[in-house]
Structure 1
Amino acid sequence: MTDTVISLKDIGLSLDGNAGRVDILGGITLDVARGETVGLVGPSGSGKSSLLMLLGGLEQATAGSLFVLNHNLTDMNEDALARFRRDHMGIVFQSFHLIPTMTALENVATPLELAGHADAFDRARAELEAVGLGARCDHFPSQMSGGEQQRVALARAAAPRPEIFLADEPTGNLDGATGEAIMDLLMGLRDRHGSTLVLVTHAPELAARCDRVIRLRDGSLDLTTDEVSA
C-alpha cells in the first residue's frame, strides 16, 4: 500500500471580498506519496499558490478534507497549524522573507531556537554549509545576492529536517543559471532529509524534474491533459 503523506478530498477554498464571494479552488482530490516530488503547474490565477497555502496550513479550506501526515488540517486552529508547520514542514517562497537585521546564521537558527533546539546554531551552520554558504554565516541579507538569499531561505527551511518541503516559485526571482542551481540544492536537500516535495513553478524545465506534474486550471485539476511524469 502506498505511504500517503498528503491526502485531499473534494477540497474547496472560497474567500469573501468587496465584490462578494470568490471561489478560488473547487473539488480537488489528490494524494501525494512519501518521498514523491510533485510539480503544480498552470496559468496565472489557476490556484497553484492557493493550493500550496492550504497544504501548509496558511489558508484553511472552506470545503472538503485535508490530511497531512495523518493530521486533519481542516480541524486545526491557527496555533495548532503553526506548531504543525514548525515540526513537520519546510516552506520556501519566491520572496526570501529573511529578517534584514539578522545574519544568515541567525536567520536560519532563529526558528530552531523558537522550537527549543539546544543545538540551533550548530544545525544552522551545518545547513548553510550544505548550501555552499559556510563562509557567509555572518553576512546580512543586504550583503548577499538574490541567489545567496534564496540559499539562506533553503537552509532555514531544511534546518528542522522537515518531512515535507513546500516551494512556491522558488526560482521565480532568479536568472536561469542561478535558478537551476537553486533547484539542484532543493532536490539535494529533499534527498538528504528524505522529504516529500511539492513545488509550484511556471518553468517547464523545473517541472520536468518532478516525479509527477499536476496541472490546475480555474481552481480545479485540469483533466484535459494527462499528468506528466519526469
Structure 2
Amino acid sequence: MTLPVLSLEHAALSLDGNAGRVDILHDITLSVAQNETLGLVGPSGSGKSSLLMLMGGLERATSGKINALGQDLGRMDEDALARFRRNTMGVVFQNFHLIPTMTALENVATPLELAGQKDAFSRAQAELDAVGLSHRHEHYPAQLSGGEQQRVALARAAAPRPKILLADEPTGNLDETNGAAIVDLLFDLRDRHGATLVLVTHSHSLARKCDRVIRLRDGRITEDTRQEAAE
C-alpha cells in the first residue's frame, strides 16, 4: 500500500487575535495521494489558505497530526521545517513574494543556491525558459507585469523539482488571459516534475481541472468530491 504524500488527522488551528482566541480549522482529516491534484474551495474566510499553510508547515496545527512524505511536521523545529520545504515543496502565493532587489534569474536561483545546488543558475535559466521568460532573465520584478511576476514565482517553485506543489490563489491577482496561461503552466509543471499539486482557488474552471475537490465552510470540510474526468 502506497503511503499518502500528505495526510492530516484531526488537525485543528486556532490563532490569537486582538479579540482573543479564534478557531480557524476544526477536526480536519484527509489524505492526498501521489500525483493527485487537489483543489481547496469555499467562501472567503472558510479556512482554505490556512489549510494549505498547515500542509506546508507554514502554520503549526494547534492539535492533531500532519504528515508530509512520511514525516511528522509537528515534530520538526523551524529550521528543520524550512529545510524540508526547501527540499521537497514548491509554494506559489497570490502576491508572488518576489525579492524586489533581485532579477528574475536571481529570484529563481536563490533557493537553489541555498540548497547547495552547483548548477543553480543554469537550472534557473531552464525554468524561466520553460515558463516563457527567456527574454526576461535580467529584469527586476518592478519591470515585469503581474502575469510575468507569477511566471517567475512558478519557475522558482518548480526549480528544486519538488514532490509537492502548493498554490494559494495563483490566478487571484491576474486578468482572465494571464490567469488561464498560469493555470496551463502550473499543470505543466506538475506533469514535468511528477508533483502532487494542492491549490486554493475561487475559480470554478480551475477547480474543474483537479482530480478531487475539497469544499470548506467555517473551518470544516463539508464536501470531498472525486471528479471522474478532470479537464
In the superposition, the TM-score normalised over structure 2's length comes to 0.97
Using the TM superposition, name which of 70-79 and 196-205 deviates more: 70-79
**Shift, 1:135, TM fit:** 1.2
What SS does structure 2 have at the residue aligned with 1:156? helix
Matched residue, 1:133? 133
Which residue in the other structure is 2:119 paired with?
A: 119
How far apart, CA to CA, are the structure 2 residues paired with 1:169 and 1:9? Answer: 25
1:79-228 pair list within 5 angstroms: 79-223=79-223, 227-228=225-226
TM-score (norm 1): 0.97
Structure 2 alignment gaps of length 5 or more: none
Q: What is the aligned-residue RMSD (CA, Å)?
A: 0.9
Partner of 1:30: 30
Task: Work out the CA distance in 2 between the residues paired with 1:35 and 1:45.
Answer: 28
Query: Structure 2 counterpart of 1:83, which letter?
Result: R
Q: How far does residue 45 in structure 1 lie from its aligned partner after superposition?
A: 0.4
- The structural deviation recorded for 1:140 is 1.0
Which residue identity lines up with residue 109 of structure 1 in the other structure?
A
Mapped to 2, the partners of 1:84 and 1:3 lie a distance apart of 18
- CA separation in 2, counterparts of 1:2 and 1:207? 25
What is the distance in 2 between the residues matched to 1:2 and 1:203?
31
Distance 1:2 1:111 in 2: 30
Matched, 1:46 2:55: no
Distance in 1 separating the partners of 2:56 and 2:107: 20
C-alpha distance in structure 2 between counterparts of 1:80 and 1:48, whole Å: 25
SS of alignment partner, residue 134 of structure 1: coil
Q: Across the two proteins, how many residue pairs are aligned to each other?
A: 228
Which letter does structure 1 place at the counterpart of 2:23? D
Q: Give the corresponding residue for 2:62.
A: 62
Gaps of 5+ in 1: none
Q: Match of 1:71, as an amino acid?
A: Q
Separation (CA, whole Å) in 2 of partners of 1:194 and 1:228? 20
1-structure distance, mates of 2:72, 2:115: 22
After superposition, give the CA deviation of every residue in 1:188-216 in whole Å (9 maximum; x if it has no partner): 00000000000000000000000000000
> Where does residue 13 of structure 1 map in the other structure?
13
> What's the secondary structure of 1:152's corresponding residue?
helix
* Separation of aligned partners in 2, 1:148 and 1:18: 37
Deviation of 1:141 (Å):
1.0
